[in-house]
Structure 1
Amino acid sequence: MRFDTVRETDPAVADALDAERERQNDTLAMIASENHASPAVMEAQGSALTNKYAEGYPGERYYGGCAHADEVEELAIERATELWGADHVNVQPHSGSQANMGVYLALLEPGDRILSLDLTHGGHLSHGHPANFAGQIYDVEQYEVDPETGYVDYEGLAATAETFDPDIVVSGYSAYPREVDFERIQAVADDVGAYHLADIAHITGLVAAGVHESPVGVADAVTGSTHKTIRSGRGGIIMCDEEHADAVDKAVFPGTQGGPLMHNVAGKAVGFAEALDPAFDAYAEQTVANARALADQLQARGLDLVSGGTDTHLVLVDLRPSHPDTTGKEVETALEDAGIVLNANTVPGETRSAFNPSGIRAGTPALTTRGFTESACREVADLIADVVDAPHDEAVVRAVSERVDELTDEYTLYD
């Protein structure tokens, strides 16, 4: 991908774009919420649809000239419906958080009660953190993972639901490495007369490929991101049954958004088509296999994993048992210097702050897109462990960086 036209008009931005492409080529992306979109998806997102306002929905726009925008959005909807088996799909949300906002607006009133997983236990800001709109508009109570096992405490969730009497129960998480029992959470919601929102932002692709249980047809509404494990155009999606379709559509437009980002919808359509190819199922299976290999080798190197492993695309390392004086931020910084990009993350029972937490989160979606298999991911685990053991040793960081250079040359990304 070249930026010749940008360079002619804005060399400063062209330099930044070139540098970012090189950064992605030359580093290992292990932030669990990141992936590498195909050139086709990126081309669609850089298309002439960036110029088009298309407020409304296909066949019911508030502007003229939307015939081709309608075609693209209808393709995205049809492909999403096939991928996830939903009755109704809205592909317009600009992000997973805005998809959540759309569901709240469709199903709740201000001041209603949300029951969701605590952020430090793997939840998400948009599930009710006080710094987020959800925590400011709604009354929020939170459940936790079992401190002994690291798995969601389903019995504790049920007990909290009984006393709190929520209007909606939120499942689906941003730093939880185990498969979610959506049917069990649906039963809790049913028992207390609450809606159930399943936020599959991180596992959208795993659910589409059938390597993780699907909440579609179980929960009242399902939201997701479209640029993580599904590897499509950047944005969000809402899926629901026909009962809630009108309310959801009105909540997205005009409730929370104006014109949809039609170039992103085009990227979603292209990515969904790629995910319908049987090769995507193999990709998703390999992503999970790679995460398990990564987890096994990190444990072999003496690192503690929340829940003791993973069923998904990510691992969550608690540094306190093995490296009590080392923070996640220290490790994140040292690893980035070595060419491995992941993020510091809170862990259950966090004793530090969210800005300088006790854990690190690592994912395998982007590595798998590059072609990594289990053996390569085990080697990456060793490289990570080397840096965790000596984050301030320049010789160690330099040696890891040299090996990362070899791996990125071997597993090429963008020409």
Structure 2
Amino acid sequence: MKFIDRTKITVKAGDGGNGKSAFRREKFVPKGGPSGGDGGKGADIIFIVDNNMNTLLDFRYNRKFLGKNGGNGDIKNQFGRNAPDLMIKVPAGTIIKDEDTGNILADLTDADESVVICKGGRGGRGNARFSNSANRAPTFAELGEPGAYKKLILELKVLADVGLIGYPSVGKSSLIASVSAARPDIAEYHFTTLSPILGVVSVGPEQNFVMADIPGLIEGAADGIGLGHDFLRHIERTKILIHVIDASGIEGRDPVDDFYKINKELALYADKLTKSPQVIAANKIDLPEAAENLVRLEALAKKEGLPFFKISAATKEGVTDLMKHVYTMLLNYTAPPEIEEKIKIYNAEKDNDEIKISRDMTGDFVVSGKALDKLVAMTNFANDEALRRFQYIWRLKQIDGKLKDKGIKEGDTVHIGAMEFEFRE
């Protein structure tokens, strides 16, 4: 299965059902009161972690998600049916971003963890809800509130205990293939691995951990050169890093320089990565060219205070000792507070009464505000009584005065949401 770790989708929560305008019509009750019921609530859009998923592949073929609308209210104070919420399953390690703002809305890592990303619209109130001592027979009802809409970016960061890092062709794929059931493509050219490969490593009965072969980094990866950001994203989740170095130097690079260049890219991408525990694995010791560099690499490990292992992924020499040591490190691992702290789950913005007045490119006036936009969307302007109620709220919010302060004149065009009208005193 192809590993998909980033995709874009759109989600639209369900609209609320319309309220009903109706009156009791029963025998011997010639003047029955208002009896229109409320509309039902629209479906929320909820993302939930499914541990049976490990890629975002499903979203490549399905990019639009629409929640169902709430049912309309009916006569005899019958309420419309609430729409069932739309549950969207994602793999653990998924980050949800707002495409328009770039803000992170949720960071889902735990099994069955869920978050409401778009709220369904509330149902419009039926005319029975507007009956009072001053108006005992209201003829209007509210329309349903529109559901929220968002364009999202989904990013998957691999959830692995151990990550293999290093330049291309240093033997990371061969190493994970030698210690797990993972079977990555292995060849004598750079970037054979273009997406993370996960493997479960067993060092004894019930002594397992998940290891990820992170695709090879190159100089400039932190600036997005090559597939840098796509690769570095996955390292953030790992607890321990095994830095695989080609001790033979047959690629023409200096192994010691490789170590410092890769760590520089980690620091440039995210400073916290430099705090992740590392183990140096000097690979390809079966090649005669490795002998000279092993002395230098061992001195490097001692200088940096890092565990050092001589291995050959091809012959499996030293590999078992490396895996057992890493497992022991995991048992004693304590996450730094800044890494352990999770991104807070997104909370939908509450409506507020702030009114903003601006001018568009044609010079028309634009009146906006979350509560006001909702009022416009839920008002049936074809009903005279509903229109009068809107005008009353308009005066109550003193919008006429605010428009005059902005220089509005008789006959100027005003926009509120999808509604447009001419200003009249």
Scaled to the shorter chain, the TM-score interval is under 0.3
More strand by share: 2
TM-score, normalised relative to structure 2: 0.24
> Which has the higher Rg, Structure 1 or Structure 2?
2
Structure with greater proportional helix content? 1
Larger relative contact order (Cα-Cα within 8 Å, sequence gap ≥ 6): 1
| TM norm structure 1 | 0.24
